[in-house]
A and B are shown apart, each in its own frame.
Chain A
Amino acid sequence: MWCDRTGRALGLAAACVLALAAPAHATPPDVFGFGPRTSAMGMTGTAYARDYEAVWANPAGLAQARVTGLSLGYVGGQYRLRLDGQDPAAAYRAYGIPDDVAPGAFHAATIGFHLPLPFGGALEDVFVLGAGFYTPRSTVLQTDVFFAEVPQFPVVNRVGAVHVHLALGIDLGRWVPGLRLGFGASALARLSGTLDVFLDEADQFVSLTETQVLSVFNPTVGAQLDLGEDWTLGVVFRDRVAANIDIDIEVTNLPVEIPRITVAALPQYDPHTLAAELAYRPTRCLLLAAHLSYRFWSDYPGVLSRATDFSNQPPRPEFSDTISPRVGVEWSLGAPRFGGALRAGYAYEPTPAPPARSAPALDAEGNVRIDEGSALTTPLRYVDADRHVLSGGGGLHWATELGLDVRVDAFVQAQRWAARRHAIALLDAPDAPNLRSDGWILVGGLALTVEYR
């Protein structure tokens, strides 16, 4: 699909993009996308992704792969969020929380592969396996869960968890022209544990403690349909991903009765997502994509749970569903042996969260607490805002004489975290002005992909 032009100008432009990408990193797919090509194109890809990036964008796209490929990447970025014009770390210090847990720089490695299964006969060129791994540096699951009054970022601050995606693409074009299906699963780790403590006959404390790291698997299904030679429609549904921590502490047979304490939270959550995309190739050089993602955020239960059976419930987040429009463009240049591409995109990510506010305080049953005829409130500082995601990137492609195709792709994203005035002050201080949030999230990534037959 490379255009028959010299690659000099393209190479220069791509080199500039690579230079801008500086240290390469990656991010959890729901926040930043997965893979440098689709991330550069405004987190689109449902209709056109065709290699390991398809395990997230749409597993049906895997079925387009005719060569085996292995990709390694190193991706990351920097949160530059501001609360009342200050770094969140300053607010955390005011709440007595170590400021090193404030959103800041993040780094991760990405690994992906796509593997056509070389069956013959009727099954020739039908099945393609793919996998994608996002692995934050030295972390499988990072959870920072605070009391509800502490400013926190449950939507955008979800970069501290390993995501694993496995998928199978099936090319049904032999039977239904242009149709591809895909099935996949994403996996996250969650933590569970119990602690039973009792007093033995010798007045010694005895415990039975168990902690378990469990896996959460969530299915993804997708389809792609070629509508003639120029148009492709893609649809994908991703199941909700919820990785929780749940540790019960139970103390029995003691002189002093202690309530059962539950340390429970939901630090990693991606809502059900339904996405549709139309890709159009007006020429061999140009790819255009228009995308809509519907996220079912209204199911979001919030980060924290109550600590004991009769403790008060935390306030409800009251999130709303969102629709995210995205567009992407790719311009390919070069000869068959050497070439490249320039990419750009835009995504609008509306926030599902209402402003941080004084939310109704709930009792153990979830009813609003009343004191002397008045409803009680409690601070709830889930801070989020609309995001405008501007992305760009490029790639170089080299078909070596060894039969190896080598690709280097890079992307950058500037996510503008729109200014927002909330309905509560940053700190519980009299006459303090309402919290104002704004900022940026900057992301860059680089991946090296080797493909061969």
Chain B
Amino acid sequence: MRALLAALLMLVSASSARASPPDLLGVGPRSTSLGGAVGADVEDASATYYNPAGLARGEALRLSVGIFHLAPELEINGQSSNLERLGGLSLGLVAPKRFRGVNFAFGLSVQLPHQRLARTRSAITDRPRWELYDTRPHRIFLATGAAIRPVPWLTLGAGLAFQAPSTLVLDLRGMLDLGEPNMASRLETQFAGSIGATRYPHAGVQVRPLDELELGLTYRGQVRLDGRVVVQADADVTLGMVDLAQLALFLDSETNTLFGPQQLNLGAAWRPLPWLRVGVDLTWVDWSRHPSPVAAEEIVLTLDPELPIVELPDEIGARDPTPLGLHDTFVPRVGLEARAVDTRALELDVRLGYVYENSPYPAQTGNASFLDADEHTLTLGLGLRLTDLEPVVRGHVAIDAYLLYSELRQRTHVRESLVDDVGDLVTDGRTWGAGIQLSVAFDPPEESE
């Protein structure tokens, strides 16, 4: 019985990833290879994340499909944390239309991991865990946006992104045989479960005060998902053909399963030369609102009558959420893009990006072991554009690719207690990423211009 109770306790205590996948993966090869410093002038489908206003910048219908891969290599005390690699498919759509000199546009962006739509894994307070990397990227990202460009120097946009919380109410009944639990126990389950849908907003504005300079401001809303599990068990405890007792269990647990902080991003893009673009972004991330990933629980267990051969826990503890103590962060981003080849039929861009993300997590000196560290990210990308494809394509076909390398600074977590079970922790690591995308842009027909 104690084991069964423990199993159910563990089931409901599952915590999970917390922030949206694009924060780690980026969206779209061009934007990712520029370090995400594109808030001022992004205009492909990745604008649904970086700045939805950018959807209305162009007049070409854009479709894109790509693949991405991410390989974290993080270590604790010199041992690999064996974090799962991630691969997936990305899809993008930007559908603009110009009416009476005003651009309207709709955009859609999807990042679909190969393995699953979402993954969560249990968190144990004192078990070392890369909270922001463990299962954080393993979620689908789906965002839509709409934008308008009323005048050539101003675009406005807004959109929604989606995530999914879950609830499970489980009933377990039947007969649990103490003598032959595997062969003789007969159990049945019924349940009511749901995967919900949570929408959170993105909005942005882009302005062009000078021909060479563009500015962008983006707000990304907070997303918080709480999972709930209720377990009700009602079983006859038997030994052979003899009924011994009646077991009843009620357990209610609610856990924060995902938290994505609200963000405000200010970006600038400067084109000092016709072939050179320099982008700088600064993102405020509101990590301090992060709730505890530890479950809030209510547990009632009875065995009638009590049995001397079944050792029930003397005291069934219900955990209380404890604050994580995160602090807000400011994330600077820089991106350079240079046109290396520019002919009538072919254009080639070279891209370079850099991001510095200081960790919102304090040093883990108590009994918690949620690990993180400051991170430097370098990105490199290429963009090849074929522009002489008429009559089949009046527009262009592009291939964009990127490589990403992130280095986590070594960090030492010195425990306050000299008899801490886990002990001091030294962490470091790196992440490799790559992606490639094929896109096609159809220019509008002449008569609609």
Contact = CB atoms under 8 A, between A and B. Distances in A.
Given A251-B6, A261-B189, A310 B184 contact: yes
A367 interface: no
A213 B195 contact: yes
A138 B448 CA distance: 39
Interface stretch (B93-101, B264-272, B333-341): B93-101
Contact of A140 (B6, B124, B182, B196): B196
B191 interface: yes
A311 B187 contact: yes
Nearest to A267: B193
A145 B13 contact: no
Contacts of B171: 147
Contacts of B242: none
A282 interface: no
Contact of B188 (A138, A147, A199): A147
Given A206-B124, A209-B13, A213-B164, A145 B190 contact: yes
Interface stretch (B29-37, B113-121, B406-414, B425-433): B113-121
A8 to B, nearest CB: 29
Given A139-B194, A195-B10, A209-B10, A308 B391 contact: no
Interface residues on B, range: 35 or more
Contacts of A205: 6, 9-10
A170 B184 CA distance: 58
A308 B185 contact: yes
Q: Which of the listed residues B63, B118, B193, B393 has the most CB atoms from chain A within 10 Å of its own CB?
A: B193
Q: Which of the listed residues A113, A191, A208, A402 has the most CB atoms from chain B within 10 Å of its own CB?
A: A191
Interface in A364-404: 402-404
Nearest to B164: A140
A308 B119 CA distance: 25
Q: Which of the listed residues B61, B178, B190 has the most CB atoms from chain A within 10 Å of its own CB?
A: B190
B187 A308 contact: yes
Please classify the interface of chain B as helix (H, G, I), strand (E, B), loop, or mixed, using the class held by over half of its residues: mixed
Interface in B97-153: 97, 99-100, 106, 112, 115-122, 124
Contact of B178 (A144, A247, A256, A267): A256
Contacts of A139: 194-197
Contact of A120 (B4, B7, B10, B394): B394
B195 A307 contact: no
Nearest to B311: A255
28 contacts: A68-B95, A113-B95, A117-B442, A118-B61, A121-B391, A122-B392, A138-B197, A162-B197, A199-B3, A207-B10, A208-B122, A209-B10, A210-B120, A212-B117, A214-B117, A215-B116, A249-B7, A249-B8, A251-B3, A255-B3, A256-B1, A256-B181, A257-B182, A259-B181, A259-B182, A261-B187, A308-B186, A310-B186
Interface of A: 68, 70, 98, 101, 113, 115, 117-123, 129, 135, 138-147, 150, 160, 162, 189, 191, 195, 197, 199, 202, 205-215, 245, 247, 249, 251, 254-259, 261-265, 267, 304, 307-312, 314, 402-404, 452-453
Nearest 5 pairs between A and B by C-beta? A207-B10, A209-B122, A120-B391, A140-B195, A205-B6
